[in-house]
Amino acid sequence: MVSEIHLRTIDLNLLVVLDVLLRERSVTRAAERLHLTRSAVSHALGRLREAFGDELLIRDGRRMRPTVRAEGLAQTLPRVLLQLERALAGPEPFKPEASTRTFRLAAPDFIAPLVPSLLRNVGRVAPGVRVELAPFSQGAIRELTEGRHDALVAPTFIEHEGLRSEPLSTCSWAVYGRKDHPAFRVWSAEAWSAYPHLQIRTTDASGKGPIDRRAAEQGIHRVVGAVVPHFTMAPPILAQTDLLLTVPSIALSGSAAAYDLERRAVPFDIPSMGLSLFRSASAGDEPGVRWFLERVAVAARGLHAGA
């Protein structure tokens, strides 16, 4: 019961004073070391004696002799104070140049064009760091909140109490097709509807993504001629067929020229899609994670500028 009362009532600063007094065995030298006045240290010693119910230090000539109770405290107090100091200190700073850590980023594969920039950015200052990519899904959101992913790039409209976010950019939508595609001769909503489309499979069970929903609101419909699971499969298919593909403009920013694809604006009203960078509310402020989030944000801004 006595120790419980001490924990509730004692000023921790007094324990720091006691630790120095037990080392120096002198009020004067303790005051000098603590940058306090001699009277302040004497007053602190009086409060300590009252709190512990013990003299603690007894004058013995020009020095002070510890009591049996104080001898025991002298053995344990430095270790306790060190542990407390470490517990209260902030996390260790992240040193990218010496790190061999693995960071995990979940994202839809249409942001693949930012990956080379991200890897260059990371490798330039942190050659030992490894980056792992995971597909975006509802499961990825859960894994981010549980700490199994370090960051998530996803549409801004996602909300979850376990996540924190910051906007990355907004992406316009674009239509891609092969060079000299007949639909591009007189580009219009009618031309967009007249040719079959390539669609990227999404997690929407209905198969209706934002493009189809927005088009339907304006009385515009399309025919889907083929469905593929990944954006990276689209360019060679578009290059050799009359299929059209409507996607966020960044999706093919790195591959359209390589496959000689042409790009047009979507021929009906559709708002740009916002992208945000998400982190765990509980683990996302850890120094290493913050460093990685900054690298992702830099890569995303550079991609958007060139899209």
Question: Where do the domains of the chain lie, and which CATH numbers do they carry?
Answer: 2-88 (1.10.10.10), 96-170+274-306 (3.40.190.10), 173-271 (3.40.190.10)
> Which stretches of the chain score pLDDT less than 50?
1-5, 203, 205, 305-306
Identify the H or E element spanning 199: strand 197-200
Contacts of 32 (CB under 8 A, 6+ apart): none
Q: What are residue 133's DSSP bridge partners?
A: 105
Report the pLDDT value the prediction gives residue 304, as an integer from 0 to 100. Answer: 54
pLDDT of 8: 65
In one-letter notation, the amino acid at residue 162 is: G
| CA dist., res. 33 & res. 77, Å (int) | 17
Amino acid at 66: P
- How distant is the alpha carbon of residue 52 from its chain centre? 47
The pLDDT score that the predictor gives to residue 147 is 84
The position carrying tokens 């009385």 is 219
Q: What is the pLDDT of residue 204?
A: 53
CA distance 222 to 132: 36
267, 260 contact by CB (below 8 A): no
The two three-digit tokens of residue 166, written as one number: 């910051």
Report pLDDT for 83. Answer: 79
What secondary structure letter does DSSP report for 138?
H
pLDDT on residue 202? 66
pLDDT, residue 241, reads 97
pLDDT at 205: 47
Q: Which of 301, 307, 306 is nearest to 169 (CA)?
A: 301
Handedness of CA 166, 169, 175, 176 (dihedral sign): negative
